[in-house]
Amino acid sequence: MFDLERWQEIFETLSKNKLQTFLTMVSVFSGVLILIILIGFSTGIQNGVRSEFEQDATNRISIRAGITTKEFKGLNPGRRIQLRNEDFAEINRKYEEDIEYKTGIYNIWGGQTTYGKESGNYRIEGAYPDQQFIENASMVTGRFISQDDMDESRKIVVIGNQVKKDLFKDKDPIGESVKIFGINFKVVGVYTDPGGEREETRLFLPLPTAQKVFFGGDRIRSMAYTVKMSDNFDEAVALSAALSENFETDLKSKYSVSPDDRSAFRVNNTLEEARKIYSLIDTISAVFWFIGLGTIIAGVVGVGNIMLIVVKERTKEIGVRKALGALPSSIVGMILQEAIFITAIAGFSGLFLGVIALNIASPLIDSDFIKFPRVDFATSITIVLIIIFAGALAGYFPARRAAHIKPIEALRDE
């Protein structure tokens, strides 16, 4: 392998077949390049989708009430179902063991909010302290809603980072008062959400405060939970699915809704969806690998093909070498090394260029579903191994043929 002589021979033979070598290298090169870019993008899609899910806790279950569409027990369809505090409390009691975080939500769309001269319309949500974790929000400054705020129905507000930027600019908002529909609330915290701007244009109030101030009574718009996660993802998905179903069944029987009425309650099980999307991503990345490996195989077949031609063209030379005492193993070694060399050079250039291309493209891609396409170290190593293996495979058959060349036939003059 480190025999200088061998390398000289390889370069000599390759330079003899410049065009063929070049074309073969191009096919391996483009195969690897395509594989790298496909894998990069499938990683990008994974990153993108993952960050979509990171907006909220992945184990979240949300429940919303709607309008019935089916007649049931003498009740007409078209009935509006209204969730109330007691529904929330009942579920909490009944499924306490499986629930991690919980909140009832009373929200108002387009709540006009002003601070000094600045104003904007934001979504106002009355919620529980747990909302922070269910929304996957983290605090920039100050604190989130506390239990005391709830108990005393304090007129405080936690604002999103975007709201803070809109209304307060660079000023510290903590302790300041904002007016929502003309009513004063004291800002106690600023939160940020991985979901970005859209998720940060909200204001959170303690639920009882929101219900009192905005005439909500004991009505709530929706409820959100997170399921206690077990280490096993599949178990967690199963628990989440079972829980969602139980919530729905309980509420349907309580409100006399037909069991097959799908619009009266909308139970959204993020974990189940996550599982579906993740398995979709797995499929996508498998397809990408398949395509990429397919192109590499095409390239490798090209290398094998050219090596066969090389062996054919050099039949006489190989015959001479054997007559002069070349061992079959040295002939096999020569052809194998040549094939591995070609594939490795072409493959590594493809790998290198692919990684560079991804690095350049990465910041330019602005899509919610593709983020930071890249190829990680382990994958690169895998690809390198694949390249070397492919080179060896491409060289093997021609090498075997070369080793079987009979000098007597190769040297025949006619």
Partner 1 sequence: MIKIEDLHKSYVMGSNSLHVLKGIDFNVKEGELVSIMGSSGSGKSTLLNILGMLDEADEGSYVLDGVPIKNLNEKVAAQYRNKFLGFIFQSFNLINYKNAVDNVAMPLYYQGIKRKERMDKAMHYLEKVGLAQWATHLPSELSGGQKQRVAIARALASDPKVLLADEPTGALDTKTSYEVMELIQGINDEGKTILVVTHEPDIAEMTKRIVNLKDGRIIDDTVVKQVIAKSYV
Contacts with partner 1, residue ranges (CB under 8 A): 4-5, 12-13, 16, 316-317, 319-330, 403, 406-408, 411, 413
Backbone angles phi, psi at 390, to 5 degrees: -60, -40
Token match 């040297």: residue? 411
Output the six-digit token pair for 385. 């191994």
Backbone angles phi, psi at 112, to 5 degrees: -75, 120
Shortest distance in whole angstroms from residue 364 CB to partner 1:
47
Backbone angles phi, psi at 48, to 5 degrees: -60, -50
Does residue 66 contact residue 194 with C-beta atoms inside 8 Å? no
Q: How far apart are CA 377 and CA 388, in angstroms?
A: 17
Shortest distance in whole angstroms from residue 344 CB to partner 1:
23
Shortest distance in whole angstroms from residue 5 CB to partner 1:
6
Nearer to partner 1, 5 or 234 (CB): 5
Residue 396 region by backbone torsions, left for phi larger than 0, else alpha for psi between -120 and 50, else beta: alpha
Nearer to partner 1, 170 or 413 (CB): 413
Does residue 362 contact residue 374 with C-beta atoms inside 8 Å? yes
Angle at 174 between CA 169 and CA 178, to 5 degrees: 70
Nearer to partner 1, 2 or 109 (CB): 2
Nearer to partner 1, 5 or 96 (CB): 5
Q: How far apart are CA 134 and CA 268, in angstroms?
A: 13
Nearer to partner 1, 8 or 121 (CB): 8
Nearer to partner 1, 77 or 328 (CB): 328
Q: How far apart are CA 253 and CA 137, in angstroms?
A: 34
Nearer to partner 1, 190 or 342 (CB): 342
SS3 content of the chain, % helix, strand, coil (to 5): 55, 20, 25
